[in-house]
Structures are given as structure tokens and as C-alpha cells.
Amino acid sequence: MKNYIKYIALIVLVISGTSCKKYLETAPDLRATVNTPAKVSELLVTAYPHANYQVFCEAISDNAEDKGIEAGGGDPLNRDPWFFEDVRSRDTDSPDFYWYGCYKAIAAANQALEVIRNADNPQDYVGQKGEALVARAYAHFMLVTIFSKVYDPATAGVDPGIPYVLEPEKEVVKKYSRKTVADVYEQIEKDLVEGLPLLSVVNYSVPKYHFTPAAAHAFATRFYLFKRDYTKVVEHANLVFPGGDITPNLRDFVTPTFRKLEPVAMSMLYSNATNPANILLQEAESWWGRNFASYRYALTIGLVNKTLWASNVSGGTWAYGIYGRELTYNLRKYKEHFVYTNQGGDTGNGYNMIPLFSAEEVLFNRAEANAQLGNQTDALKDLNAFGSKRLFVSSANPVYSAAAHEITVDKINNFYSSKSIKEGLIKTILDFKRAEFMFEGIRWFDILRHNLPVVHTTADLTKTYVLGPNDPRRVFQIPKEVEMAGIERNPR
């Protein structure tokens, strides 16, 4: 198990590798050497969480079923969330690991912002300031989403949030306040609104690993969707790609070129920086690429039949390719990058490239916002654009037919028997997203936003576990060490 430094914002001493005592006693320290735009840009490489939330977010959602004892006893990282229990492991891919990963990122962003504030030529750091502000907003948003109650305008003013850290830490154990979800959202929006206009792609050798304007607008669509400010969701979605045209950037699973790819090539393409669908990527220390197919609580044939092979409102067939066997069904999304820590042995760490924001999510966010705003024509347009890249007649006839597969109001009403077209559109969007983002954790975010219950039943059908809309276990537990900083943990 990794040794965690037991205070919240792991400042730049983590990045530099020095000890806490040495760091606090040394002057000048690392901040005195980060004194040029280029060096601040290097520091900002660490202003993103190098940790993965997908492992526990998938396991707690309805995108995971029990494969049975044949799949083993279950790794706590996968088992505990499925049983709606606090995760016992603190290793890589745990909620604790992600918590600290976010605060390390925040520490780097705050360090960069302090350098910029003290610079003699702050005008030379405009792009770096924008990236630091938006990266800080993103890490705090992910923390409040996972470790606090979901944003509800009726209760956000009293629901406990997470500490919003605005300055580099200079104390070993500093006292913090969780404040409220509303306070956290207000500061996220402040950082996002201030930072976004400052961004530029000019500063990045590989833009897909940084908050470019496109990535920041994509983040804004998710933030405002949670905040229920649907007009702003549409506004920001229209600014991600030139002219607001998302369709050319969607992954095309129907094209013969893609369907002829070998599985390994599919996995590599999915998270490749050259893929136009990927808006923001992040390298994360994670064993997800190695374990996601073999985990006991994951994709089963029963779940495949409910989602990827189920009938859908279009009348077409999903073009998703299912790989593996009974205990390892999967979609080709991840390929592990193993980094040796002992060149003379076989030990090391696994890494995955995680798509943090994609063209598909932006399209769905815009579609849902338009549905909420009553703009059904625009919502249907986005849904049909997505369908053109994911639907075909059958595996024997893998051709999309606009005439046969068009999603219409009548089809939605007939398929869902909804009380309103808005309700039917949102159900369509959520079903499509559930299939699209299998193994990516986004289904859990939708479950939170729409207060959906989750029901897990053991493979032998003897026990059923229900996570209702008001269950406190919907909020992941924060690390025990934070009590040292005066912060209360989540109720159980």
C-alpha cells in the first residue's frame, strides 16, 4: 500500500519528491525555481488528477452485475462499492487514492497561481493562469461530485461540500472547512469563468492533455448540467467545436475501416490523442486496463442483453463489439501501459489513458439540456447524429439507414410510453449514454443527477441490495486522515 501524507493538499513537495521536513526548512524552495512561463507549464502537467474514478464509479452503478463465484471472491476495490459498502482498500483505484490525487493536482495549480501572482511579468503567464484556474475548478468539481451530495438548489446551501483550497499549503496539518455544496459550486464557477477566456492551445505540445478552450467548454457542459443551468450547457457545447458541429468528431463504429480493426488497435485508438472524439485525456496510475474485464462485479451476459444487445428506440442494432467470454465480457477501450520501477525485476505500476471529456458526452449534454429547455427538434437532431455513428441494420448488414433508424417523437412515445416528450427524450439520452459509456463511470454521474435507484442482486438470486435516492451511501466516504484537519466525514 502506498504511504499517504496525512493532510489534504499535498503541495509541491510531492511533485519534487522531497520530505515534508526538508521542504518546510528549505528556502529558497521549489517555488523560487519555477520562475518562467515554460517552468510553470511543466508544473501544470501535474495539475490534473493522476488517479482513476472509473473503477469504483462503475462498480456502484447499475452497469455492474455479479458474475458469480466462478469469477472469484472479488477485489475490495470492485466488491465493496457493488455492495454499497465503504471501500476498505486505499490502494491505486480506490476512492482514497482519487481524493489525494485530486488534492495533489489542486496543490500544483495553486503553486502555479502563486508564482504567477508574484511574477514581474504576469502578462507572460496568461495561458498558464487560465489552465491553472480551470484545472483547479475541475479537480474540486470531481471531489464534490463524488464525496458530497449531488447538487440540489433546494439543499445545496446546507449540504456539506469539500474543502476548496485556494492557496499553497505551508503547514503540515492545516485546519479546513467543508463549507457547503453551494459554496463549492460558486467557487468552481468563479475559477471556470475567470480561467476559460485566458486559455490558448499555443502553449501545449500535445493539446489533448491540457485544458484547451475546447476542453474547458466541454467541462462547462458537465458542470452546468449538474447545476441545472441548461442554457449555459447549450452555449458551451456550441463552443467546443467550430460552428457547434459535433457530429464529424464522433467515433464512427459503423464505418468498415473501424470494424476491421484488431481488438488491440481498437483499444489504442479509443484513448489516442489523435482521435478527434477525445477532447481531454489524462494519464492515470491505474490497474483498470488490466482488471476491468475480469472483475467479478462488471459486465455480464445478462447486462449485455439489457443494454448493448437490447432493442432501442431507433429500431436499429447497436454497433458495439462485445469481446471476451462469459467471465470477461468487455468493450475495447483500455490498454494498460506498464512502467517498470525495478529495471532488474518485474515490478512496476500500471497506467491508463483516461478520456475525461469526449465529443459524445458534449453531444449528450447538449441534447439533454435542449430537452429540458423544450427544444425537442435540436435534441432529436443530436440523438440522430449519434445514431448515425452507432446503429446499423444488423451485424450481417452493418449499414446505418437514416430512413429506418431515425429517432422521432412517435418512436419515443411508443417505446417509452412517457408522460411527455421531454421525459421520453431524457430516457432515450440516458439509455444511449448507459450503453456508450460502459466502463467509464459516467453512468454513476447520471444516476446521481437523476436520483435513480440502483439494485444489485447476487448471481445466485438469494440477496438483493438497494441504493435508494436518499441513501447516504451514495456519497463516497472521505479518507479518515482528514479528521486531523478538522473535517467531518460523511455520515453512515
Express each pLDDT in 1-33 by its tens digit: 443 334 344 333 333 333 343 433 343 344 448
Q: Indicate the range of 2-11, 202-211, 250-259, 343-352 predicted with least confidence.
A: 2-11
Supply the pLDDT for residue 204: 83
Q: Which of the two residues, 11 and 307, has the higher pLDDT score?
A: 307
**Coil vs helix vs strand at 244:** helix
Q: How far apart are CA 47 and CA 138, in angstroms?
A: 10
Supply the pLDDT for residue 172: 63
Q: How far apart are CA 298 and CA 439, in angstroms?
A: 8
Supply the pLDDT for residue 182: 98
Express each pLDDT in 212-242 by its tens digit: 999 999 999 999 999 999 999 999 999 999 9
Span 59-86, average pLDDT: 96
Averaged pLDDT of the chain:
92
One-character DSSP codes across 241-263: SGGG--GGGS--SSSHHHHTS-H
CB 184 within 8 A of CB 161: yes
Supply the pLDDT for residue 137: 98
Supply the pLDDT for residue 171: 67
Span 371-391, average pLDDT: 98
Supply the pLDDT for residue 78: 97
Phi, psi of 33 (to 5 degrees): -95, -15
Beta pairing partners, 337:
351
Asked if pLDDT for residue 86 goes beyond 50, the answer is yes
Tell the residue number behind the cell numbers 499517504, with chain if given: 4
**Helix boundaries (H) for 163-296:** 181-195, 213-227, 230-237, 256-259, 263-270, 288-291
Q: What is the dihedral of CA 181, 187, 189, 192, to 10 degrees?
A: -140
Span 395-403, average pLDDT: 94
Asked if pLDDT for residue 247 goes beyond 70, the answer is yes
Q: How far apart are CA 69 and CA 388, in angstroms?
A: 40
- Cα Rg of the chain (Å, integer): 22
* List of domains in the chain: 35-485 (1.25.40.390)
Express each pLDDT in 440-488 by its tens digit: 999 999 999 999 999 999 999 999 999 999 999 999 999 999 888 889 9
Share of the chain above pLDDT 90, in %: 85
Band of pLDDT at residue 201, cut at 50, 70 and 90: confident
Asked if pLDDT for residue 404 goes beyond 50, the answer is yes
Q: How far apart are CA 220 and CA 235, in angstroms?
A: 9
Express each pLDDT in 327-376 by its tens digit: 999 999 999 999 988 877 788 999 999 999 999 999 999 999 999 999 99
Q: Indicate the range of 97-101, 119-123, 174-178 predicted with least confidence.
A: 174-178
* Other C-beta atoms lying within 10 Å of the C-beta of residue 219: 26
Q: How far apart are CA 108 and CA 408, in angstroms?
A: 48
What type of residue sits at position 433?
K
Q: Indicate the range of 111-120, 236-245, 345-354, 383-392 predicted with least confidence.
A: 345-354
